[in-house]
Chain A
Amino acid sequence: MIINHPLLGPRDAQEFTYLGDASLINRPDWQATDAQDQFYDYLYLRNNPAGLHRELWFHEIGDRSWLVVTRDTVTHEITKVEMASDVAKEPGRNQ
């Protein structure tokens, strides 16, 4: 697989390590009253779709940036690559 890095261009997927579903960016608030339930969902449950999947890849042997890759889990086709920091900031977070 080739991952088209937004800053570096097309890079071999071997340079990256895989973490998992992009929802892992949104860590729940540990002070929420239902934090225990939220963390159970966050840590253990997955949508695990057959089809388009947004997922976190780390450019370990490259610029060490985190990317959000949109990839089809049935065909392995990659349709979109974003910087994870941009994705994280979208809902209004400052980091």
Chain B
Amino acid sequence: MRYSGFRVIKEALTGHKGWTAAWRDPEPQTHYDIVIIGGGGHGLATAYYLAKKYTKKRIAVLEKGWIGGGNVGRNTTIIRSNYLLNGNEPFYELSLKLWEGLEQDLNYNAMVSQRGILNLFHSDPQRDAFVRRGNAMILNGADAELLSVAQIRDRYPFLDFENARFPIKGGLAQHRGGTVRHDAVAWGYARGADQHGVDIIQNCEVTGFRIENGRCKGVETTRGFIGASKVGCAVAGSSGRLMAKADMRLPIESHVLQAFVSEGLKPIIPGVITFGAGHFYCSQSDKGGLVFGGDLDGYNSYAQRGNLPTVEDVCESGMALIPALGRSRLLRMWGGIMDMSMDGSPIIDRTHIDGLYFNGGWCYGGFKATPASGLVFAHLLATDTPHEVATEFRFDRFRRGYMIDEKGMGAQPNLH
């Protein structure tokens, strides 16, 4: 069924009896050509682009809970492509371009809102670094503009410009950045994939891989064995847990990241703002809640909740940037599990096991990457060669010394 304004009016006049389920709930078959583990944004996007662009083969997405119940439903919904390094920026710029056409492509309202993102800087060296980054973005076809303090004052009068320790000296803006309704991304991709014949199988947890003579033959699940010629894993957050079943050790640690939403307020914050002197970012949702977050808790964790010292730290950073924040009350907060890789960049690659493919290590930048991640992982699964914008996201980059370390932190995952 195609969604449209006309359809909404027609259904409203006929008692909403014509709507059908957005995707089927099929029983798993005994064999698929391609099985994708993980019914989150990346897994569903992979299935969608595989079925739409690359192959007519039989494809299934296996999800242990319900689709969109993991990190795609637990993030702070920001999209942007303001990266520095050549290994990253073309990929994220492709992702942003895909976001721009996503709703028409999927025929689904994902509420893509390009309200802009502003990265503030507070010192001269930081300005130099941001100028360099802006130039790298422009060279890769993205948009970037350096804003003066006067320009920022005009649009964001509520910021603490005269903070004694961290006065605002300017900012780097990407006007095409913004926010997206995150759940709708999962639902839109699920509906699109389903329409192209993908079986989305929920409540089906993968308990093991069947590997014979170095080749993956399928997966053991809570709903029985499912054979597959190729298996793609897209379970960022739980990558360590899943790949351990294939006896793989990854260059990844799992960490907990907390996020926060305030009570609903009238519009105050246009776009997304990030603090340059601490780790804090904030936007306002369409419902009016201020959505913000900051640093990781900093220790390995698979618990989807964090601890109070980080809450205090994030709120202190927020108060240093936006003093008015202190007048709003926190509505809710939650934690999500991040695949923190050793250089802060993702991995989309074949594994040493034939027929087993891996997509993970998204650190806390997975949401914005969803469309491009799906596209390039689909490309890899279909053609066995990396997509041209993902040639550096390889497993062996650590062994070879070709890290994509945006922050220059080295192999210390909780600092990326």
A residues touching B (Cβ–Cβ < 8 Å)?
A: 1, 12-14, 17-21, 40-41, 43-50, 53, 55, 71, 73-76
Contact = CB atoms under 8 A, between A and B. Distances in A.
Contact of A46 (B251, B299, B309): B251
A44 B347 CA distance: 13
A44 B251 contact: yes
Interface in B399-416: 399, 411-414
Nearest to B243: A48
B241 A50 contact: yes
Given A1-B307, A14-B309, A40-B399, A50 B249 contact: no
Nearest to A39: B399
Contacts of A41: 249
Interface of B: 238, 240-241, 244, 249-254, 298-303, 307, 309, 342, 398-399, 411-414
- Dominant secondary structure of chain B at its interface with chain A: mixed
10 contacts: A20-B253, A46-B240, A46-B249, A46-B251, A48-B244, A50-B241, A73-B254, A73-B301, A73-B302, A76-B307
Contact of B411 (A17, A18, A43): A43
Contact of B300 (A13, A17, A53, A75): A53
Q: Is the interface of A mostly helix, strand, loop or mixed?
A: mixed
Contacts of B298: 17-18
Given A20-B253, A44-B398, A50 B302 contact: yes
Given A40-B398, A43-B411, A46-B252, A76 B301 contact: yes
Given A48-B241, A48-B244, 11 more contacts: A19-B412, A20-B412, A20-B414, A41-B249, A44-B342, A46-B251, A48-B252, A55-B300, A71-B299, A76-B301, A76-B307
A46 B301 contact: no
A10 to B, nearest CB: 15
A20 B413 CA distance: 9
B308 to A, nearest CB: 9
A-B pairs with the 9 shortest C-beta distances? Answer: A48-B240, A45-B249, A50-B302, A44-B251, A44-B398, A18-B299, A14-B309, A73-B302, A50-B241
Contacts of A40: 398-399
Interface centre among A17, A45, A48 (most CB of B within 10 A): A48
Contacts of B414: 18, 20
A12 B298 CA distance: 15
Contacts of A47: 240, 244, 249
Nearest to A43: B411
A35 to B, nearest CB: 13
Contacts of A21: 253, 300
Contact of A48 (B300, B309, B399): B300
A13 B309 CA distance: 9
A60 to B, nearest CB: 12
Nearest to A77: B303
Nearest to B341: A44
Contacts of A44: 251, 342, 398-399, 411
